[in-house]
Amino acid sequence: MVKKNVEPEDLFECLISGKYGYIHPNGLLLKKKAFIDAGMYPELRLHEDTILIFKLSLLCRLAPGETKRPVSIRLLHMDNVITRPGIDFLQSRYIYFENLLGWMRENDIEKRRQRLVEIKYFQYKYRFRRREGRYLSALYCYANTKLLNAIHR
């Protein structure tokens, strides 16, 4: 649930920052064309819905409706992919940002917004590589994160 009223043109930045909540597909009401234009769900094991929401926020004028109370409820169970033991969130996160970035480049989404995704991509990849003990690769990711942050400001 998005926690504050956000203008449609600012929604992508709010969602990518993670500061103001999220939009779950259960609460979406859109025309079929919007899903087709966004390319539907990517073929990933995790986070397909998150990528779809990011794409829709870039292509459509999404506006959060009710921000004070939930309009839908979702339940997670232990057999759910996201709650299943053994899921590597660091790896799945950098892979989903990599997927989103590729889609943004193919669809000529403005560079400023691509940099926001690149920053997230390198942040997660850095943490994943460092945890794996691949320090040279981690250092490369860390340097890219710092460079992109400096450029973005």
What pLDDT score does 61 carry? 87
Q: Domain end: 68, 95, 114, which one?
A: 68
What's the number of domains the chain is made of?
A: 2
What pLDDT score does 115 carry? 92
What pLDDT score does 24 carry? 75
What pLDDT score does 85 carry? 63
Host domain of residue 124: 87-153
Same domain, yes or no: 20 and 51: yes
In a domain, 119, yes or no: yes
Same domain, yes or no: 5 and 50: yes
Same domain, yes or no: 104 and 145: yes
Q: Please tell me what DSSP assigns to residue 46.
A: S
Q: Please tell me what DSSP assigns to residue 4.
A: S
pTM: 0.78
Question: What are the DSSP calls for 47-62, one per residue?
Answer: -HHHHHHHHHHHHS--
The answer to whether 89 and 113 have CB atoms below 8 angstroms apart is no
Residue 2 phi, psi (nearest 5): -75, 130
In a domain, 1, yes or no: yes
What pLDDT score does 20 carry? 78
Mean pLDDT by 10 residues, the chain (153 residues): 79 86 77 82 71 88 70 66 68 87 92 92 91 91 86 71
What pLDDT score does 22 carry? 78
Same domain, yes or no: 23 and 51: yes
Same domain, yes or no: 100 and 153: yes
Q: What residues contact residue 98 under an 8 Å CB cut-off, 6+ apart?
A: 121, 125
